[in-house]
Chains A and B, each alone.
Chain A
Amino acid sequence: GAVVSQHPSWVICKSGTSVKIECRSLDFQATTMFWYRQFPKQSLMLMATSNEGSKATYEQGVEKDKFLINHASLTLSTLTVTSAHPEDSSFYICSVRTGRNTEAFFGQGTRLTVV
């Protein structure tokens, strides 16, 4: 498997500011990581696929200029929520897969609250 760690676990920020969320694969070199968003009492919605050394691939409807993804190394992907607004308040979760047809391992999630 893979151990995935996110930081911070919880963040509160003011509207209009930017917030960076880190996702680390602690024991596996991941060329690909995935970012999900989850609103209360809803399912996980895939936002984007983070690709090491290249641009992220965004799902339809996700604004790439608002949700900046940087996958600078095989163990770290970051998601930056730019000019955050209260409607961006959500639970953000990253995941890693270790093989072509294997499960996804998830971080513990980051709770973002924009006030």
Chain B
Amino acid sequence: GESVGLHLPTLSVQEGDNSIINCAYSNSASDYFIWYKQESGKGPQFIIDIRSNMDKRQGQRVTVLLNKTVKHLSLQIAATQPGDSAVYFCAELYNFNKFYFGSGTKLNVKP
């Protein structure tokens, strides 16, 4: 089913530090997950994805970790930059068809 969105928690980090954003997903049968970045007034942008047969996947400055046992995803951003300031959502693919979004975290990068 769908995770219900509540008011967004905020993570504040200093420029240059690493950021870790967490997400809990709801359906144990989901087997594909994506992290999206959303800037104010815009649609979500793809950051990185991971399939359920993997525990970890790395991209450029970003790493996604998947723990299926506790239905948990995390996004690690290395050397966080001001341009990383946005809202981050995880999304799970349900029934090979539609994506449901987690509640989101607002990342605030302080210069």
Contact = CB atoms under 8 A, between A and B. Distances in A.
Interface string B26-40: 000000101010000
Chain A facing B: main interface SS = strand
Query: Which of the four size classes fits the interface of chain B?
Result: 20 to 34
B103 A107 contact: no
A107 to B, nearest CB: 5
Nearest to B5: A43
Contact of A46 (B43, B46, B99): B99
Contacts of A36: 101
B98 interface: yes
A101 B34 CA distance: 11
B44 A106 contact: yes
B24 interface: no
B49 A103 contact: yes
* Of listed B4, B8, B43, residue having the most chain A CB within 10 A: B43
Contacts of A101: 32, 51, 93, 96
Contacts of A32: 97
A43 B49 contact: no
A104 B96 CA distance: 12
Interface residues of A, number: 28
Contact of B42 (A45, A100, A104, A109): A109
Contacts of B91: 104
A91 B102 CA distance: 17
Contact of B99 (A34, A42, A107): A34
A45 B6 CA distance: 11
Interface of A: 4, 6, 32, 34, 36, 38-39, 41-46, 49, 59, 91, 93, 95, 100-101, 103-109, 111
Given A93-B44, A101-B93, 16 more contacts: A42-B7, A43-B5, A43-B102, A43-B103, A45-B4, A45-B101, A46-B2, A46-B101, A49-B98, A59-B2, A93-B43, A95-B43, A104-B99, A106-B43, A106-B44, A108-B42
